[in-house]
Amino acid sequence: MNSDAVPELDVIRAVLAATAPDAQLLLPALLEVQRRVGHVSNACIAAAALHFNLSRADVYGVATFYHDLRGESAGDHRVQVCQAEACQAVGCRALAAHAERRLGAAMGTTSSDRRVTLETAYCFGNCACGPTVRIDDEIYGRVTPERFDALIAALHGPRP
């Protein structure tokens, strides 16, 4: 066991100890673990299954269904490309492909330098201005590949 695992397990135990074993509280507990640790690990899934008297498959299903939960910690920045219908009509799929090439990361993964996690999202309510990208908490409309590159450059300087 590596040194990072002990604090993570301590956090998981603390969150579960403070949570009643009511299955309706599973999602809030998982979200709290992720808030504190950065992700929901297999160890968390196993502990939550025991705590809530659910199967690991049930907990895994919840952990993988919700877009905000992740199995590994996100990068320094979250970049989300909207894939909803309105954005599809104005080229979001091509923009997503460009983002993957630019960052060297597939959707749902983190760049090798751990700076950016690239994610798919569905609708930021900016439909008239697609394609839309959210970087951390800021929403950008009418994002072209060139504008995407400029936004990413601002996150971590010029690309080598």
> What are the boundaries of each domain within the chain?
5-65, 77-156
Identify each DSSP E strand in the chain by its residue range.
77-82, 109-110, 116-121, 133-135, 138-140
pLDDT in 10s for each residue of the chain, 160 residues: 344 555 899 999 999 999 999 999 999 999 999 999 999 999 999 999 999 999 999 999 999 998 789 998 899 999 999 999 999 999 999 999 999 999 999 999 999 999 999 999 999 999 999 999 999 999 999 999 999 999 999 986 544 4
Half-sphere exposure of 122 (CA within 13 A, CB side): 5
Retrieve residue 157's tokens: 């300087």
**Superfamily of 77-156 according to CATH:** Glutaredoxin (3.40.30.10)
pTM of the model: 0.74
